[in-house]
Amino acid sequence: MTATLLGIETSCDETAAAVVVDGTTVRSSVVSSQVDLHARYGGVVPEIASRAHVELIGPVLAEALEDAGVALGALDAVAACRGPGLAGALLVGVSAAKALALVADIPYVGVNHLEAHLYAAWLEQPDLEPPLAVLVASGGHTLLVIMEAHGRYRVVGQTVDDAAGEAFDKVARFLGLGYPGGPAIDALARSGDPAAIPFPRAMADQADFSYAGLKTAVVNHVRQHPDDPVADVAASFQAAAVDQLVAKLAAAADEADAPTLVLGGGVAANSVLRAQVAALAEATGRRAFLPAPRLCTDNAAMIAAAAWWRWRADGPTPLDDGVDPTLGLPAGG
């Protein structure tokens, strides 16, 4: 029997809803980004995000159901991201999901945002089999995970300071490239020399990530060499940031003997990161799975995908279950 799930994502600055069948087939996926609302502040403002979610959630849900051609009564369950994320923002999606579950008399499934980033890969590659070495790098998280089986994760590395995407955003803001910074740096770096400035590759012998030192090195370099082409600074920063991600992914895959590499999170849209992970897989006889950028960035299809597996494993989530802004990835059993 197939199961049609409605997924809702409101953990940060995207209001998203999607209809997904059996955790793999996307019937609709609507993402309403608030980037324009936050751009002038150079980052996400929680109060503005919560208010925007309240305004957008109704229309986004209606559009997702209409695009899928699915009536509320035809859904088998409704899922929402319950954390990690901004408390007020999470509450909007979770409350909407619970209300729909009550109205339609169907189960509610609370979903971990980090687990959802891992399950985005199944939306394009339904035959994917663990073990996988997964790098999730976004504005909010930098996480290296060995997925040993469905629901069983080993976090082998995370950032000790800034997230990878946060470093792109901060450096872009410093260079006057606007927000979000990742796509701006990626684009400008194409015309720069990645070897122009030897920025540090942090914590080379450890599994954890660090970006604060790299960010400071960029600021110091630009202050000392104000005439260096910005494209060279962007390309050299990007090379150092990506090298760190790829080196640690390679080491984790080796250590876990994982035959498949997977990327997730907004930074996975980075062109140099994608090329280097593909090259790493080729060189080491592995398979690399690089989901389309629209599945790497925050979306609700990944919430519905993860919900399908969670629902099968744990059953519905009680309606009195709340949000958890600091939720970590479950270790599983």
CB under 8 Å to 196, separation ≥6 — which residues? 228, 229, 232, 233, 235, 236
Looking at residues 270 to 299 of the shown chain, list those that interact with Zn ion (rule: CB under 5 A): 298
Single out the residue of 267, 277, 281, 307 in contact with ligand KG4 (rule: CB under 6 A): 267
Q: Which does 239 bind (CB under 5 to 8 A by kind): Zn ion, ligand KG4, none?
A: none
Sheet arrangement for strand 142-149: 152-158, 142-149, 132-137, 260-264, 287-289
CB of 263 to Zn ion, least distance (A): 13
Q: Let me know: does 121 contact 291? Beta carbons within 8 Å.
A: yes
15 sits near Zn ion (criterion: CB under 5 A) = no
- Count of residues near Zn ion by CB under 5 A: 2
168 sits near ligand KG4 (criterion: CB under 6 A) = yes
Looking at residues 272 to 301 of the shown chain, list those that interact with ligand KG4 (rule: CB under 6 A): 297-298
166 sits near Zn ion (criterion: CB under 5 A) = no
Buried b or exposed e, range 56-89, using 16+ CB within 10 angstroms = bbeebbeebbeebebeeeebbbbbbbbbbbbbbb
- Count of residues near ligand KG4 by CB under 6 A: 20
Q: Let me know: does 43 contact 268? Beta carbons within 8 Å.
A: no
138 sits near Zn ion (criterion: CB under 5 A) = yes
Single out the residue of 84, 93, 266, 291 in contact with ligand KG4 (rule: CB under 6 A): 266
Q: Let me know: does 171 contact 180? Beta carbons within 8 Å.
A: no
Region near ligand KG4 per CB under 6 A, out of 94-102, 120-128, 134-142, 218-226: 134-142
Residue 179's closest CA among 293, 53, 15, 36? 36
Q: Which does 243 bind (CB under 5 to 8 A by kind): ligand KG4, Zn ion, none?
A: none
Looking at residues 3 to 42 of the shown chain, list those that interact with ligand KG4 (rule: CB under 6 A): 12
Nearer to Zn ion, 153 or 199 (CB): 153
194 sits near ligand KG4 (criterion: CB under 6 A) = no
Q: Which residues pair with 6 in a beta bridge?
A: 19, 78
**What is the rounded distance in angstroms from the CA atom of residue 25 to the CA atom of residue 39?**
33
DSSP H/E element including 28: strand 25-33
192 sits near ligand KG4 (criterion: CB under 6 A) = no
Amino acid at site 41: Y
Per CB under 6 A, residues contacting ligand KG4 are 12, 138-140, 165-166, 168-169, 180-183, 186, 265-267, 269-270, 297-298
Per CB under 5 A, residues contacting Zn ion are 138, 298
